[in-house]
Amino acid sequence: MEIALVGIGKIALDQHVPAIAASPDWDLAATVSRKGSVDGVESFTDFAELLERRSDIRVVSLCLPPVPRFDYAAAAIAAGRHVMLEKPPGASLSECHRLIDMAQAQRVSLYATWHSREAPMVAAAKAWLADKTLRRLQITWKEDVRRWHPGQDWIWEPGGLGVFDPGINALSILTEILPDAIHLTDATLEVPENKQGPIAASLRFAHPAGAEVGAVFDWRQDGDQIWTIEAETDRGRLELHDGGARMVIDGIEQSADGPALAGEYPRLYARMAQLVASGGSDVDLSPMRHVADAFLLGRRETVAPFHE
């Protein structure tokens, strides 16, 4: 199937373009970007022009920042195109629900992707936790914003999520592996005095069985980057490291079962192909709901200004 990629920035070039190129399901037929392009692929600077001139392209993958994404997705759906959304699926829950309604009305597929759920050991962690009683779970997600988001000023603006841009990856794993639903009860957001979005956050959740569940996100990490989830249960301890790439059970490193596809983004594009073929949609908003609750409930603390 032919697909158009909209928003040719770092994530598109690092992940989406290679995943599409390696996929047996997809052919990158066009791109839309004001600045970027892909060698050998037809490029547009105007999305409306793409929709008008390339009616043969039935699927659109949106890699834009969250704030402008709704208008592009709505236009694509109105034109009868299937839409794949980079995480987070939008700038607000309300606009995501609107896209769901539009996709249903137009009978097109809508896929809100959560790439961290496709990390090699996430499914294994979910299976291990399924029959155990959780006592404590702690997320530690600390990285250097200068390394992963250089010059991306939009992430500090309203709708850009700040540290929740990576933090929502942790929440997407959390909501995937836990057998019970949780909800946020308390949050502290550290906001640089020269920014709109938080640079760090700490969260506490209520668990139906009383387990202690918390998370710490920080964008000021020097040295080794930390993406860890630790869970203590009635029958052992689980650790997910490197964003779900590694799993340790009671101190013993576990081996992956050898997935048919290597990499998070190839698995996302394989899933999109399945959805288009079956006429289905997949839009789980639970990670985003926790972020919205953090902004609603969170106590804001002003911290030192941040400069790249």
Among the four given CATH numbers 2.60.40.10, 3.40.50.720, 3.40.50.300, 3.40.1160.10, the one describing domain 2-112: 3.40.50.720
Is the pLDDT at 89 greater than 90? The verdict is yes
Residue range 11-24: mean pLDDT, rounded: 96
Residues whose CB falls within 8 Å of the CB of residue 169, separated by 6 or more in sequence, listed in order: 87, 114, 115, 116, 141, 227, 243
Whether 35 is a known active-site residue: answer: no
CA distance 223 to 90: 31
Second CATH level (architecture) for the domain 116-260+291-303: 2-Layer Sandwich (3.30)
- What DSSP character marks residue 244? G
CA distance 264 to 19: 9
pLDDT at res. 258? 56
- Residue-range domain boundaries for the chain: 2-112, 116-260+291-303
pLDDT (tens digit per residue) in 154-212: 999 999 999 999 999 999 999 999 999 999 999 999 999 999 999 999 999 999 999 99
Annotated catalytic residue within 35, 87, 142, 195: 87
N-term to C-term CA, the chain = 41
pLDDT at res. 90? 95
pLDDT at res. 256? 77
Between 263 and 249, the higher pLDDT residue = 249
Is the pLDDT at 79 greater than 50? The verdict is yes
Under DSSP, is residue 61 helix (H, G, I), strand (E, B) or coil? strand
Q: How far is CA 51 from CA 46, 74, 103, in A?
A: 9, 12, 16
pLDDT (tens digit per residue) in 38-71: 999 999 999 999 999 999 999 999 999 999 999 9
Over pLDDT 90: what percentage of the chain?
95
CA distance 42 to 237: 51
pTM exceeding the 0.85 threshold for the entire prediction: yes
Q: What residue has token string 């490197």?
A: 242
Average pLDDT, the chain: 96
Interhelix angle 164-177/122-129, nearest 10 degrees: 50
